[in-house]
């Protein structure tokens, strides 16, 4: 958890998972961006999932923060995936003319994890070689 920004940033191996809230203010956005980018760099993170499923609507400020996070993460070498985008958010981004260039999207966090190579434990067990 990032106590300064109050937004959780969870680590699973070399992947970070976090999310954005619609009531994001300037101070929290700057602290969150700083924490996330520092962790990408310091911890050798290869993938970041930004779960935005809690965003029912998006304004230009939150959209800009999302775009900047994605661009910064990519520049640091992390694969950025935005997960859980609601149709209203997608429509608003399109209407604002904002593009998430270089960012993959996924329907949910589970699909984003699969894009980064994670599998459910049952699937991994089935694919594991069995001793004869």
The pTM for the full model equals: 0.82
- Could you read off the pLDDT of 38-83 as tens digits, one per residue? 999 999 999 999 999 988 888 888 888 888 888 899 999 999 999 9
Q: Is the per-residue pLDDT at 5 higher than 60?
A: no
The CA distance from 112 to 80, in Å, is: 10
**Amino acid 127: pLDDT:** 66
Query: What domains are there in the chain, each with its CATH number?
Result: 9-116 (3.30.750.24)
């Amino acid at each position: 958890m990032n106590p300064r920004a109050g937004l959780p940033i969870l680590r699973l191996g070399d992947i970070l998972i976090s999310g954005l809230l619609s009531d994001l203010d300037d101070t929290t956005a700057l602290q969150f961006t700083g924490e996330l980018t520092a962790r990408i760099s310091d911890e050798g993170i290869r993938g970041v999932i930004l779960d935005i499923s809690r965003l029912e609507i998006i304004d230009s400020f939150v959209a800009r923060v999302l775009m900047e996070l994605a661009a910064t993460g990519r520049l640091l070498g992390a694969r950025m995936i935005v997960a859980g985008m609601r149709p209203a958010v997608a429509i608003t981004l399109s209407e604002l003319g904002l593009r998430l260039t270089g960012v993959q999207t996924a329907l949910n966090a589970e699909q984003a994890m699969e894009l980064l190579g994670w599998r459910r434990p049952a699937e991994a067990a089935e694919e594991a070689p069995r001793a004869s």
